[in-house]
């Protein structure tokens, strides 16, 4: 089957380590942690009292007050990042066929802030139903993709992928495929999340999934370290403009990277735990490499899922060894979640930003807070310990694995 090539022509970001793409990347290669005490709510009585928030975020810096009332924070992050991505892409919105322009977004939870606010007000009141008229449209997880389309007038395909921590990776894969299949020429894709609230922190605390290192938040996210105690909850949004190659060339766009290929599958093993042998994680990487028309030895850098959890950080290195064999010791590996925290449904998108910038700049971002490698992890793998390193990167692979066993792998390459 002859398919069309897909490239990235714009990126936008608002993350715990930067309110733009450039700021996020700069802090990423400098090993800056986004973790700090929670300011969104009083976390005094919670086991975890820190997270990776977007710093000093004020909605009214981006939206008027009427708009703020209509948009949950996860949708605000989506709109902010999408606006930057479109601007950076150089798209002339008056000259494109908007029926051939779409949005495929990713979010694992959606409007949790809105849900908490509305239900709390009802539960603590006189039980008279006084729900706000924006409750449902603010809360539903597909609203961000609709709002982005309204923002830019994109009237082509439009939907949202919901697969926990793999959501935005699935969104990017769907965007890639729809352009390849000639269903669209331009798609804004990526993901956003805003779950740093009482329910988000409390829920993950009850699962014993997130770090409780309250005395030293900046070292809370420590993938592959023997002393890790869970991931650090994060928020934000990252958007990418995916475009058909000839369409981008014709308009003189700056091409950042090619979306070479990808794959998705399922562990079919457990609700929240990965297969401890990483068998399907290995399989999804193998399928992605094949889809990209590459060989395992063509991959120079892997941005691993690497959440800083006990089980996942053991299974993924096993999957790398099974996939790459001896080449695993020649490529660079890192977990940028050590800096950004875990942005849940937006994780794949921010890690795509890391891969594309690594290709563009010839720099591998580090895995920070990694001082005592878990003895169950192969010490010969180059995890880019604590400091970025220069390296020519022709192809980069990004892994994301979500609760439910959802696995997604996306490959970007230099063009």
Active site positions, annotated: 165, 305, 342
For 5, phi then psi, to 5°, come to -85, 150
Residue 10 to residue 72: CA distance in whole angstroms: 24
Convert 202-230 to b/e letters by CB count within 10 Å (16 or more is b).
ebbbeeebbbebeeebbbbbbbbbeebbb
| Lookup: tokens for 132 | 């706000």
Residue 302 to residue 322: CA distance in whole angstroms: 14
Reference 353, options 4, 16, 98; nearest CA is 16
Residue 400 to residue 381: CA distance in whole angstroms: 19
Residue 101 to residue 33: CA distance in whole angstroms: 36
Q: Which residues pair with 267 in a beta bridge?
A: none
Residue 285 to residue 308: CA distance in whole angstroms: 20
Residue 12 to residue 51: CA distance in whole angstroms: 22
């Amino acid at each position: 089957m002859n398919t069309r090539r897909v490239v990235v022509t714009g990126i936008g970001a608002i993350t715990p380590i930067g309110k733009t793409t450039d700021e996020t990347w700069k802090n990423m290669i400098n090993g800056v942690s986004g973790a700090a005490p929670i300011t969104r709510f009083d976390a005094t009585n919670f086991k975890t009292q820190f997270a990776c928030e977007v710093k000093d975020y004020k909605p009214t810096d981006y939206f008027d007050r009427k708009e703020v009332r209509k948009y949950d924070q996860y949708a605000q992050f989506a709109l902010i990042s999408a606006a930057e991505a479109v601007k950076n892409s150089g798209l002339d919105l008056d000259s494109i066929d908007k029926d051939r322009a779409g949005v495929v977004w990713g979010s694992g939870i959606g409007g949790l802030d809105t849900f908490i606010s509305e239900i709390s007000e009802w539960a603590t009141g006189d039980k008279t139903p006084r729900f706000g008229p924006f409750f449902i449209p603010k809360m539903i997880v597909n609203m961000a993709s609709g709002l982005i389309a309204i923002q830019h007038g994109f009237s082509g395909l439009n939907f949202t992928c919901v697969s926990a921590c793999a959501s935005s990776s699935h969104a990017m894969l769907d965007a890639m495929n729809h352009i390849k299949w000639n269903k669209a020429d331009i798609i804004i894709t990526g993901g956003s999340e805003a779950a740093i609230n009482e329910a988000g922190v409390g829920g993950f605390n009850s699962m014993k999934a997130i770090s409780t290192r309250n005395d030293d938040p900046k070292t809370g996210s420590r993938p592959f370290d023997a002393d890790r105690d869970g991931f650090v909850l994060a928020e934000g949004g990252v958007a990418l403009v995916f475009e058909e190659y000839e369409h981008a060339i014709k308009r003189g766009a700056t091409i950042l990277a090619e979306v070479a290929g990808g794959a998705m599958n399922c562990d079919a093993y457990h609700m929240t735990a990965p297969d401890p042998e990483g068998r399907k994680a290995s399989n999804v990487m193998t399928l992605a490499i094949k889809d990209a028309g590459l060989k395992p030895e063509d991959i120079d850098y892997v941005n691993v899922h690497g959440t800083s959890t006990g089980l996942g950080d053991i299974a993924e290195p096993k999957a790398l060894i099974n996939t790459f064999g001896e080449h695993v010791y020649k490529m660079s590996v890192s977990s940028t979640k050590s800096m950004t925290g875990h942005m849940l449904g937006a994780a794949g998108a921010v890690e795509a930003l890391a891969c594309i910038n690594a290709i563009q700049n010839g720099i591998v971002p580090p895995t920070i807070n990694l001082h005592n490698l878990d003895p169950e992890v192969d010490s010969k793998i180059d995890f880019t310990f604590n400091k970025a390193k220069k390296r020519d990167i022709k192809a980069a692979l990004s892994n994301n694995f979500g609760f439910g066993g959802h696995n997604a792998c996306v490959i970007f390459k230099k063009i």
